[in-house]
Amino acid sequence: MTTHIDRENNTSHALAPAYFGPVAWYCRLATDPLAYINMATPYRKQGTMNRCTIMTANGQQTLTVPVAKPTHPTALISNHGKWRQEHWNALCTAYGDSPFFIYYEDDLRPFFEEQRWTTLFDFDSDITRKMCELLDINPPQQRYDDTAIPLDNDTGEQSFTPYYQVFQQRHGFQPNLSILDLLFNMGPEATGILLNEK
């Protein structure tokens, strides 16, 4: 994967908040000292702010956090339905047999059990901090910059070095899934993979 760092112009790179963001998003955080999360990013439907993609036995599955008030800048999380339980069950089913799920489940389960988060941004921020802790990378700076154009969180055009995935034999290597896919499959090696994607 190519990561552009504009050191000559010292240009900062704004990232939109992300719900268990894709591998490319975390690669940017791990390798780009100028990357930051833009708190002024407006909520948009079908973006990574409230969606992540995991790999299951049946193929890719998108998990979506329902939003009650998609108003900028504080989109509110909806507490209707059982989406937290459904997301956790999906992760357990998809990654329960992965090599490292058991090592991280206690760190991540609170995000699917507690209802203390009201805004999507606060929820995403705490998830990002926890993921950076587990990946041993520095947490990103946060800025409110309503003039910045956020980088594309999906960066689907980039190529990735394949790593082990539970359902790779059935579906082939699937690039740029949620960071959870990399963490549950590769464990401590996930950080090295992020740092080597250049």
Residue 97 phi, psi dihedral angles, 5° rounding? -100, 5
Cα–Cα–Cα angle for 56, 62, 64, nearest 5°? 135
What pLDDT band is residue 1 in, cutting at 50, 70 and 90? Answer: very low
Question: Kind and range of the H or E element at 59?
Answer: strand 59-64
The residues with which 69 forms a beta bridge, in sequence order, are 76
pLDDT in tens, 134-189: 999 998 888 888 777 766 554 444 567 899 999 999 999 999 999 999 999 999 99
Check residue 184 and give its pLDDT. Answer: 98
Work out the percent of the chain whose per-residue pLDDT is above 90: 66
Residue 6 pLDDT > 60, yes or no? no
Check residue 151 and give its pLDDT. Answer: 67
Check residue 150 and give its pLDDT. Answer: 66
Residue with tokens 């609170």: 110
pTM for this predicted structure: 0.90
Q: What is the mean pLDDT of residues 24-38?
A: 92
Residue 115 pLDDT > 90, yes or no? no
Best CA proximity match to 18, nearest among 150, 133, 191, 149: 150
**Mean pLDDT of all residues in the chain?**
87
Structure tokens at 142: 């946060």
pLDDT in tens, 52-103: 999 999 999 999 999 987 765 578 999 888 999 999 999 999 999 999 999 9
Q: Which residues contact 15 (CB under 8 A, 6 or more apart)?
A: 25, 28, 29, 35, 36, 37, 38, 140, 150, 151, 153
Check residue 25 and give its pLDDT. Answer: 94
Q: Which residues contact 89 (CB under 8 A, 6 or more apart)?
A: none
Classify residue 180 by burial, with Cβ atoms within 10 Å: 0-12, 13-18, 19+. Answer: buried
